[in-house]
Amino acid sequence: MENIKPKTWIELSQENINFNLDKFRNRVGEQVKIMGVVKSNAYGHGAIQVARMIEKKVDYFAVDSIDEALEIKNEVGGKPILILGYTLHDNLKIVIENEFEQVLANIETLERLKKESEILKKAAKVHLKIETGTSRQGIFQADIDQYLDLIKASNFLQLAGISTHFANIEDTTDFSFAMKQLDVYKKAVEYIEQKGFFGFLKHTASSAAAIIYPETHFDAVRVGISLYGLWSAPQTFVTSGQINNGFALKPVLTWKTIVAHIKTLPAGTYVSYGCTEKVEKETQVAVLPIGYRDGFDRKLSSIGEVLIHGKRCRVLGRVCMNMVVVDIDHLDDVQLEDDVVLIGPQYDEVVTAEEIAAKINTINYEVVTRINWEIERRKI
């Protein structure tokens, strides 16, 4: 295959991801396991690349689906892999054969796992997810007995973990609901232990909970968005500062492209589809070879900014499928194929995922996760 230089690419900082993981290790201590959550292409950062970057510093990989689990096992391996999302019953055999651990919250899946594990004569490790208030996956306490009875009746089902997930711990400074959830979880764990089950992994904390509340750490924490140097929400940053726990994060991802065309537009010229914007004076512009196909959101039309020569350059007109036009009239000596930063730092300036999220009324998670999977990710 030809060695083709890409028009757009992503750079991943090994130094910054190490910094973030070290912060979490210092926060939770040596006895608490860290699950590196690399689901959804590692929140857009590149699952394989990130897994390789963190494998020496995490105790588990956590993914959403069986295909993600297989990809991580085949390309990286070396750590237990927890599947957080739903697995189709026809694929549960693969879960058992590959020794993956499966989060589940319905009895039908557990029954099928029991059947498949007995056929294979091989252990099936399950993590029961307790419903504490998020109202997605989750087992109500009144239903726990039927799961425990099924596990007790099997020679191959193993209760490997008990988990839950907080509904409202990152985007608030009022943690009363999260503490109610924690109380429900603790009661469920106590009940399960009274039924004779011990040695399972207790885990409730996502990034925000791990940063803010030591009471949520238990045996393991699931570090997702903040592994990548992004705060779960502005409120998490505020709370972290208020409790003065010395926590800091460094973004891992920088998304780049190049200048593909330079031209000077006469005053009164419309730019891009729909004639939604025109330049009022003679204006030099640069055309970038990226667009919404790559994950540069169309809602950034006329309001997004990129960095060229360390200066902000505004998007002119509509973002297209494969092209974006930006104003470079305030810059000197822009050359064809100069680097352009779409997310990340350049010299003393930076475009953040949070800034983009605010402009298009979403969250930083979505901004990075929707970057096209096909774009090359490079460790630097």
**Catalytic residue list:** 39, 273
Rg of the chain over all Cα atoms, to the nearest angstrom: 24
C-beta of residue 58 within 8 angstroms of C-beta of residue 36: yes
User: Residue 85 burial (CB < 10 Å; 0-12/13-18/19+)?
Assistant: middle
Burial 197-220 (b: 16+ CB within 10 A, else e): beebbbbbbbbbbbbbbeebbbeb
The DSSP H or E segment spanning 364 is helix 364-369
Asked if residue 321 belongs to a known ligand binding site, the reply is yes
Half-sphere exposure (Cβ direction) of 54: Cα atoms closer than 13 Å: 35
Helix, strand, coil proportions of the chain in percent (round to 5)? 35, 25, 40
Task: Spell out the residues 6+ positions from residue 190 whose beta carbon is closer than 8 angstroms to its own.
Answer: none
Helix ranges (H only) for 35-175 are 39-43, 47-54, 66-75, 92-97, 107-120, 144-152
Q: Are strands 339-346 and 253-258 parallel, antiparallel or unpaired?
A: antiparallel
User: Residue 194 burial (CB < 10 Å; 0-12/13-18/19+)?
Assistant: exposed
Nearest Cα neighbor of 240 from 231, 251, 229, 253 is 231
The DSSP H or E segment spanning 326 is strand 324-327
Given strand 324-327, what is the order of strands in its sheet? Answer: 261-265, 283-288, 324-327
Asked if residue 53 belongs to a known ligand binding site, the reply is no
Q: Which residues are annotated as a binding site?
A: 136, 321
Q: Which residues are annotated as a binding site for substrate?
A: 136, 321
